[in-house]
Amino acid sequence: MIARLLIRPAFAWLRQPGLHAAVPILILLAIGFIGPLVLVAIFSFMPPRSFTLDGAPTIENYQTVVEQSFYLSLLRSFAFAAGTVVVLALVCYPVALGLAKLFGRYAGLLTLILVLPLFVSENVRLFGWVLFLLKGGGVLAGAAKAVFGLELADMLYSNTATLMGLCYVYLPFMLFPMVLGLSMVQRDVVEAASDLGASRWQIMREIELPLAMPGLVIGGLLTFVLSLGALTESKVLGGSKVIMIAADIESAFTFGQNWPLGSALSMLLLVLAGGLVLLVLRKLDLDAILKRR
């Protein structure tokens, strides 16, 4: 009797058409996402340099992370990620405002123009920056010299170049959620606030930002998490000077041949980033955000 009481709801749950439609992609995520992550989690507790799961569990790898000051690159990554979010929020807000409210029928075309670079391989675009910023023969330095006779300082392989690279690559990830958010702000609501005597500043603080918040939060979150785990930007534009956490993880897995250490570093990154994502996503109603359009 008790068994039947338990089984019947479970059976009803299994018969939902929505669940059936979700099954193919759930299988993909189970074997392509959750599986690998569980494996990484287990490997992070294996003895250093082991390639099997036979060893006795240990927290040695996490100790190594602290002792060998890997946390410095984690901190650096956090700083870069935070910097990217701040810079992009400021850069994108006016553009998003324009796309959502001002450009009207040109917004579609402009969106296409802004999306296009996203589909060009990331390293091609970063390579373009190398060509642009390269000392001596680069496009910028060459042009400055030919036109103005100026000798520019080297800009490549620095923190600034890395930050710019991050901002460059993740700009659309901030911009489009922001546009989505701002287009949730109805024009007449803004006009109503203005009619009720709100100043421009008050309108932004009291009406625009709160209503656009889901978009802003998603954009910020996306940018933060993606730049936290960025690899190519620092390697191409930062050279050997700027080491971010993803580079440490990569070298532990590849050159270092130390899977457990790489796993431990990955876990740190994932727990921090994943925790943040889940925390924020819990507060958002995805249906409401995506339905508007």
Taking CB under 8 A as the criterion, which residues in 44-83 touch another protein? none
User: Are the CB atoms for 228 and 78 separated by under 8 Å?
Assistant: yes
* Joined tokens for residue 140: 């910028």
40 contributes a contact to another protein by CB under 8 A: yes
Write the CB contacts of 44 (distance below 8 Å, at least 6 apart in sequence): 61, 62, 260, 263, 264, 266, 267
107 contributes a contact to another protein by CB under 8 A: no
| Angle between helix 122-133 and helix 159-182 axes, rounded to 10 deg | 130
Eight-state DSSP code of residue 219 = H
16 contributes a contact to another protein by CB under 8 A: yes
User: Are the CB atoms for 99 and 110 separated by under 8 Å?
Assistant: yes
The span from the CA of 274 to the CA of 41, in Å, is 13
Q: CB 241 → another protein: shortest distance, Å?
A: 15
Side chain identity at 154, as an amino acid letter? Answer: D
Q: CB 42 → another protein: shortest distance, Å?
A: 10
> Among 58-66, 67-75, 193-201, which window interacts with another protein (CB under 8 A)?
193-201
The span from the CA of 36 to the CA of 27, in Å, is 13
283 contributes a contact to another protein by CB under 8 A: no
Q: 133-192: which residues touch another protein (CB under 8 A)?
A: 136-143, 146, 155, 160-161, 163-164, 168, 171, 190-191
Taking CB under 8 A as the criterion, the residue among 24, 104, 149, 197 binding another protein is 24
Q: CB 7 → another protein: shortest distance, Å?
A: 16
Taking CB under 8 A as the criterion, the residue among 46, 65, 74, 126 binding another protein is 126
17 contributes a contact to another protein by CB under 8 A: yes
